[in-house]
């Protein structure tokens, strides 16, 4: 098997690519298996490199290591998802590392030797508008925060946490409701204004917001969370419950929140929405989501 490490030097607070390269070389100096290291050069490079590598090595069994955050992981996924003889895992060193929390602690995945010795587990993938996501797609207020976060972090000397706080504050003073029609495989079930919606395969996003605490990455279902239009005061009052993942059981939030498990979900909006998927962002007014069961083999670290 070939171990392919894709390292994003821009991920996280500092560039750890030199450390990773040295660690990888030391580990494989005592192994018979082969490896390859690629350092990304910009947006979509991880996706493009992974796809080209798969095309050039069709018969080789390949394990891709996404060394970055959830955005890098999403790029690698979109590069390899249509190919055979591939598996995927993450060395979580970015500003957002939420997908691995479905399997344990972030620190478990930072033990590179245990990760190399790990075992694959089949997980579901969300497909939407010709793209793929492993963890969570979100729109409405959360999508605007992600969109503004990407703008703020491009400003010199503004780092990840500061950029995120600025994005939240900026979004709070912008339009906070969106008129949408939502349907699933059972038909239209909501037509009105929402604050936000999460289309979840995993349990959390945004650095630890547990929006879908009942989600499972291998159950063949989407967990759809819809928060209806609320005032800014109500939102600020209840956001702590949403972050901790207790909002689905909180009696005071029941009238604001819809939770539904489904295999497909469609959104139609009169105006464009900011849609974040695993940290990446697009703008559109029509979205068609579906779950693909057991689509990719995701490697879990060997137990200590």
pLDDT tens readout for residues 44-83? 999 999 999 999 999 999 999 999 999 999 999 999 999 9
Question: Residue 173: which pLDDT band, with cuts at 50, 70 and 90?
Answer: confident
Mean of pLDDT values over 22-34: 94
Over pLDDT 90: what percentage of the chain? 72
Closest C-alpha among 248, 168, 156 to residue 210: 248
d(CA 215, CA 240): 19
Please give the structure tokens belonging to residue 108: 């478990």
- Only one residue has tokens 């007014």, namely 285
The model's pTM is 0.92
Kindly tell me if the per-residue pLDDT of 160 is higher than 70: no
- How distant, in Å, are the alpha carbons of 38, 169, 172 from that of 232? 45, 11, 7
Residue 161: the pLDDT is 66
Cα separation, 115 vs 89, in Å, equals 8
* Segment 26-52 mean pLDDT: 95
Is residue 236's pLDDT more than 70? yes
Could you read off the pLDDT of 133-145 as tens digits, one per residue?
999 999 998 888 8
pLDDT grade for 159, boundaries at 50, 70 and 90: low
Q: Average pLDDT for residues 215-224, to the nearest whole number?
A: 98
Q: How confident is the model at residue 169 (pLDDT cuts 50, 70, 90)?
A: confident
Q: What is the pLDDT of residue 22?
A: 97
Q: What is the mean pLDDT of residues 243-271?
A: 94
Buried b (16+ CB within 10 A) or exposed e, 85-107: ebbbbbbbbbbbbbbbbbbeeee
Confidence of residue 174 (pLDDT cuts 50, 70, 90): confident
Residue 233, pLDDT above cutoff 90: no
Distances (CA, A) of 56 to 5, 49, 50, 60, 62: 16, 10, 10, 9, 12
* Res 166 pLDDT > 80: yes
């Amino acid at each position: 098997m070939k171990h392919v490490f894709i390292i994003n030097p821009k991920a996280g607070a500092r560039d750890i690519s030199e450390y990773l390269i040295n660690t990888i070389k030391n580990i494989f100096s005592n192994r018979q298996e082969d490896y390859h290291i690629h350092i990304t050069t910009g947006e979509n490079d991880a996706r493009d490199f992974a796809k080209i590598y798969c095309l050039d090595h069709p018969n080789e069994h390949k394990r891709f290591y996404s060394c970055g955050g959830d955005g890098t992981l999403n790029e690698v996924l979109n590069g390899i998802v249509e190919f055979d003889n591939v598996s995927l895992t993450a060395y979580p060193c970015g500003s957002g590392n939420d997908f691995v929390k479905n399997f344990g602690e972030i620190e478990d995945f930072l033990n590179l030797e245990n990760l190399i010795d790990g075992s694959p587990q089949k997980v579901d993938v969300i497909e939407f508008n010709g793209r793929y996501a492993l963890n969570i797609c979100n729109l409405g207020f959360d999508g605007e925060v992600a969109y503004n976060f990407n703008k703020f972090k491009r400003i010199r000397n503004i780092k990840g946490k500061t950029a995120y706080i600025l994005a939240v504050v900026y979004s709070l003073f912008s339009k906070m409701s969106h008129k949408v029609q939502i349907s699933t495989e059972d038909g239209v079930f909501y037509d009105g204004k929402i604050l936000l919606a999460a289309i979840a395969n995993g349990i959390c996003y945004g650095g630890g917001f547990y929006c879908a605490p009942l989600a499972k990455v291998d159950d063949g279902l989407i967990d759809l969370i819809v928060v209806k239009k609320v005032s800014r005061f109500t939102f600020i009052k209840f956001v702590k419950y949403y972050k901790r993942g207790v909002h689905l059981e909180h009696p005071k939030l029941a009238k604001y929140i819809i939770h539904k498990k489904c295999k497909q979900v469609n959104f139609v909006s009169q105006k464009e929405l900011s849609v974040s998927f695993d940290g990446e962002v697009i703008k559109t007014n029509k979205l068609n989501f579906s779950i693909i069961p057991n689509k990719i083999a995701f490697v879990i670290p060997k137990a200590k």
